[in-house]
Amino acid sequence: MKDASLLSSALSENAGTILEKRYLKRDDNGKVIETPEDMFRRVARNIATADSYYGKNGDEVAKTEEEFFEMMRNLEFLPNSPTLMNAGRELQQLSACFVLSIDDSMESIFETIKDTALIHKSGGGTGFSFSRLRPKNSPVRSTGGISSGPVSFMKVFNAATQAVKQGGTRRGANMGILRVNHPDILEFITCKESNREITNFNISVAVTEDFIKKAIKNEEYDLVDPHMKKTVQRLNAKDVLDLIIKMAWKNGEPGIIFIDRINRDNPTPEIGEIESTNPCGEQPLLPYESCNLGSINLAKMVHDGEIEWECLSQAVERAVHFLDNVIDMNSYPLKRIEQMTKANRKIGLGVMGFADMLVMLGINYDSEEAIRLAERAMKFILETSQAASEKLARERGAFPNFDKSVFSKAGSGRRRNATLTTIAPTGTLSIIANCSSGIEPIFAISYVRNILDNTKLIEVHPYFKEVAEDKGFYSNELMSLIAQKGNIRGFNEIPQDIQRLFVTAHDITPIWHIKMQAAFQKYTNNAVSKTVNLPFDATVEDVHKIYVLAYEGDCKGVTIYRDNSREEQVLSKTPAQETERASPPTKIIPRPRPNVTTGTTTKIATGCGSLYVTINEDEKGSPFEAFMSMGKAGGCAMSQLEAIGRLVSLALRSGIDTHSIIEQLRGIRCPSPSWEKGGRIFSCSDAIARVIERRIQDAKTRPSQTSLARPLSAEASFKSNSSKTGDIVGVCPDCGGALWHVEGCMVCNSCGYSKCG
């Protein structure tokens, strides 16, 4: 076993930053008091303790601890984030996500909201089906009123999620699902047409086999009132599917899940029907089940150009053991969740680093050889997981509901876990492990990292750098150009076979995204989290083809994201026969904020106290954003300053003439004017205008910078990261970096923030 002290030096800079910010233990003063090695040791010791519940002695438990520690320390396997964060600490909440039920009563709805708040407080995400709720405008006999419908209650859940804080580690996220035969399905499909609505939810339509078949035949289908249990309307299935596709084309919402396929693979149908998934859609669960996930780093399973299957087998067996122990060591937010989880003992073992594995083997991502390897690797993982689960069942007993499961009915061997495999998003985990995310293409070939004092560092994918140096075409100048372009296509210095090998999301046609998802789904018990990336000029018909491919490929769901679609204006509803290709957006779009900006802070006296105004600049030395704070002031004054700062920053980043901004702020008067260096300051707004004006004057007298010395603009900085698997969809609320749409979620690759928790 390697010296654990070597771990910190092996971690990337990003990994160290994320671990320090989100995972490592702190004292009461907020000071980090553990190293990454300490964290892995804490987790390994805590999870290994479960062995003692099954008759293992101290030496045997210590041996398990070392095995768990070694595979995490070597970055061969990592559990989901809550386990890394909380195992061995007071919270001890180890599950990433949960599914709750919502019945058609006010008591059930608000009881579920309360349960949701408790789960979000503990750091978990939640999935719901709103399909049991009666439709909008239905009579409510107990009150004599009418129902407001599922979408209105989704907004209540959304507001509750917004109100719950999680201490800066993980934020609440939700999945909202409605069956396609619910009478309110059209309202649901369009409920997120505005990017400002229901922001704490991902939404998916649960489509049935019957619906798909009728859509293909252009036939009508029934909408059924879940309360009255009767048909209340009929719709053309093709028109509804077209609307789903059009909304997904606009901004990626809703996704779809093939609910009949999900229940076809439900291991315990006698216990209940699966209605919903977790927030990213890869983990279908019964009501009150939790998901316990982890991922094997496939890049660590390749040595000297060959897959070490024995090494992979050992990693899988240990990972299944680890995840089964998590179920026993978990502190569940609700007793009912603990009971259901322990009754079925579902785990979800997945992978990350698949694209890296392909590169190390010299296999192009978008090739039939890659598809065959995906199937072979996942089949191996599933079969090895089954053997490991059967071994645990012999030692510890099968999961309690085994006799009510499909395995018992089929006469299969007894197993410890009702499900074993899931391909989950690994956004943050893959940054820690310094590997490609999940089964997505490579995260980045080369990109620019801005650090303090305007220093720019060119980060290069380690395998690409190795190949480039070996082939003799590596240079800092070339890496800089690649970082600005976003991929390596079209560089004459780079051999064509290398350009084909190192592909990114937008280099790959949608059919290969779906083929890869289907290949992994073939040997995955649960579902596969993957995003099909599309260029901005993709048409509605392109999305339709993807949905057909997903259906034909026996996928359990599909999520698409069209580049920049979340930043365009909301399009008016048009009939299906109207034009399917929209013009590029005409509204002003603010430049995203880069990870690092520089500027100065000016202290200026106002009638309310000393005001501190920070003005950061773009690459031309022009004001780019503004922040304000005022001594010990709080409450209303501070909130107004924050609002002014946000609006000023928005205007600056949108290219609004700076003098126009100054003109709007100057001269606004408040009851308490002041004097600053012989001049009258009428209000805080007036003070801000003067600081901005002063900064413009300073910039005019500053010597110009050369193009090599100045930092990238926000736009160029983000373009330099465009080789990442995903698309920029916003600004990270934690660090101000780019939010990317990847694996069905919005994630920040700079600090590890995830909208999906």
Give the active site residues: 278, 280, 282
d(CA 637, CA 310) in angstroms, rounded, equals 63
The first and second tokens of residue 558, run together, are: 């599909």
Q: What angle do CA 242, 243, 245 make, to 5 degrees?
A: 65
Residue 630 is classified by DSSP as: E
Give the residue carrying structure tokens 């094997």.
Answer: 296
Count of beta carbons in the 10 Å neighbourhood of residue 409: 11
Give the residue carrying structure tokens 């001890």.
Answer: 92
Give the residue carrying structure tokens 């982890």.
Answer: 294
91, exposed or middle or buried, with CB in 10 Å at 0-12, 13-18, 19+?
middle
- Which residue type sits at 708? L
**Cα dist. 310→78, 380, 382, 435, 634 in Å?**
19, 11, 14, 21, 60
Q: Report helix, strand or coil for 664.
A: helix
Asked whether the beta carbons of 735 and 593 are under 8 A apart, the reply is no
Pairing of strands 531-534, 348-352: unpaired
Element (H, E) at 428: helix 427-433
End-to-end distance of the chain based on CA atoms, in angstroms? 33
Backbone angles phi, psi at 12, to 5 degrees: -70, 165
Of 520, 578, 156, nearest in space to 372 by CA:
520
What is the Cα 239 distance to its own chain's centre? 30
d(CA 417, CA 234) in angstroms, rounded, equals 41
620, exposed or middle or buried, with CB in 10 Å at 0-12, 13-18, 19+?
exposed
Asked whether the beta carbons of 70 and 1 are under 8 A apart, the reply is yes
Asked whether the beta carbons of 668 and 598 are under 8 A apart, the reply is no
Dump strand ranges (E) for 324-444.
348-352
